[in-house]
Amino acid sequence: MSKRIALTVDLEPDWGVRGTRALREITPRFLRFLEERRMRATFFVVSDLMDSSGEVMAALAERHEIASHGRSHRALDGLDRADALRELTESRRRLRQCGKEVEGFRAPFFRRCAGFSRLLREAGYRYDASLGSVVPGPVNGRLDSLPCPFRLGPTYEFPTSAMGGGLLPLSLTWLRLLAPLAGRLLQRSASLLYLHLHEFLPAETASVLPAPLRPVLTRNCGEAAWGILDEALEALDGEFVTCSEILNDSEEPARTATELR
Ligand SMILES: [Zn+2]
């Protein structure tokens, strides 16, 4: 059996700032893309998007996992404890209206706040996927060397994987930036891939970003991003599934062993 890899998608305002074009225009095609390849994904969704697009979210929840990416895509480390907890609890409550349990959380920008693990438990989450980085550095290799998932007290962590000898996060952003070389930078150790739906939007939608960031973040975005993602998924040669599916399978042996004792 091929290795299981968590396919994780952040669904947030366009380029993490504002606008819902990705949600409205990219989601249907992305769902077809996954269905054609028999893949399932975990969507980390900013729950405020439910206000305008409840039915898109319900379609997504039919085959895939919905997890939380906060209520408003605010960085948790800039909030006081009460506001950070509200981001976790309120987003979970809102996303459960899709009719499915919401078990996972990913902090916007991978920025966790003080006491984050406690807030996670208080808000009722089963796992977190916020151990990651968006920039190059040795931290990516260190995260890649951890088991995915691993247990941290009563909850679980899904750290990001790396590419490029452990220096880069395994994300569509870096695959796009380094295409056509990206294929050669993939690593066999990959357990998790992350991407954003706004990466499939045409470059002009990035006008919401500060000007110096636009050319960097939009390289090979739009139509080119589909081909780059497709090639990477094929090269990684795994079975792409949700975080919850991986967690359910990895938990079983431990639970049985305890019961037998
Ligand atoms: Zn985000």
Cα 188 off chain centre by: 20
- 118 pLDDT band, cuts 50/70/90, is very high
**CATH number, domain containing residue 73:** 3.20.20.370
The predicted model gives 94-120 an average pLDDT of 95
What is the pLDDT at residue 47?
A: 96
Q: Measure 248 CA to ligand 1 centroid, in angstroms.
A: 25
- 261 pLDDT band, cuts 50/70/90, is very low
Model confidence at 255: pLDDT above 70: no
Model confidence at 169: pLDDT above 90: yes
The 3 state secondary structure assigned to the chain is CCCEEEEEEEECCHHHCCCCHHHHHHHHHHHHHHHHCCCCCEEEECHHHHHHHHHHHHHHHHHCEEEECCCCCCCHHHCCHHHHHHHHHHHHHHHHHHCCCCCEECCHHHCCCCCHHHHHHHCCCCEECCCCCCCCCCHHHHHHCCCCCEEECCEEECCCCEECCCCEECEHHHHHHHCCCHHHHCCCCCCEEEEEHHHHCCHHHHHHCCHHHHHHHHCCCCHHHHHHHHHHHHHHCCEEECHHHHHHHHHHHHHHHHHHC
What is the pLDDT at residue 237?
A: 92
**Cβ–Cβ under 8 Å, residues 194 and 236:** no
97-109 pLDDT, tens digit each: 988 999 999 999 9
- 254 pLDDT band, cuts 50/70/90, is very low
- 253 pLDDT band, cuts 50/70/90, is very low
Rounded to whole angstroms, the Cα distance separating 185 from 175 reads 9
* Burial (CB count within 10 angstroms: exposed 0-12, middle 13-18, buried 19+), residue 105: buried
Q: Measure 52 CA to ligand 1 centroid, in angstroms.
A: 18
What is the pLDDT at residue 54?
A: 77
The predicted model gives 153-170 an average pLDDT of 96
What is the pLDDT at residue 1?
A: 61
The predicted model gives 141-157 an average pLDDT of 95
Domain with 246, as residue range(s), is 4-260
Number of domain units in the chain: 1
48-66 pLDDT, tens digit each: 999 888 788 888 999 999 9
Q: Measure 45 CA to ligand 1 centroid, in angstroms.
A: 9
- 221 pLDDT band, cuts 50/70/90, is very high
The predicted model gives 126-151 an average pLDDT of 96
What is the pLDDT at residue 229?
A: 97
What is the pLDDT at residue 251?
A: 63
* Better-scored residue on pLDDT, 188 or 239: 239
Please give the structure tokens belonging to residue 205.
């939608």
- Give the C-alpha distances (Å, rounded to integers) separating 258 from 146, 148, 214, 252, 261: 23, 21, 52, 10, 5
Rounded to whole angstroms, the Cα distance separating 251 from 171 reads 26
In percent, the amount of the chain with pLDDT more than 70 equals 95
Q: Measure 20 CA to ligand 1 centroid, in angstroms.
A: 13
**Cβ–Cβ under 8 Å, residues 171 and 164:** no
What is the pLDDT at residue 257?
A: 40
Q: Measure 195 CA to ligand 1 centroid, in angstroms.
A: 9
The model's pTM: 0.94
173-197 pLDDT, tens digit each: 999 999 999 889 999 889 999 999 9
Q: Measure 8 CA to ligand 1 centroid, in angstroms.
A: 11
Q: Measure 134 CA to ligand 1 centroid, in angstroms.
A: 10
Q: Measure 14 CA to ligand 1 centroid, in angstroms.
A: 10
Please give the structure tokens belonging to residue 102.
């919401």
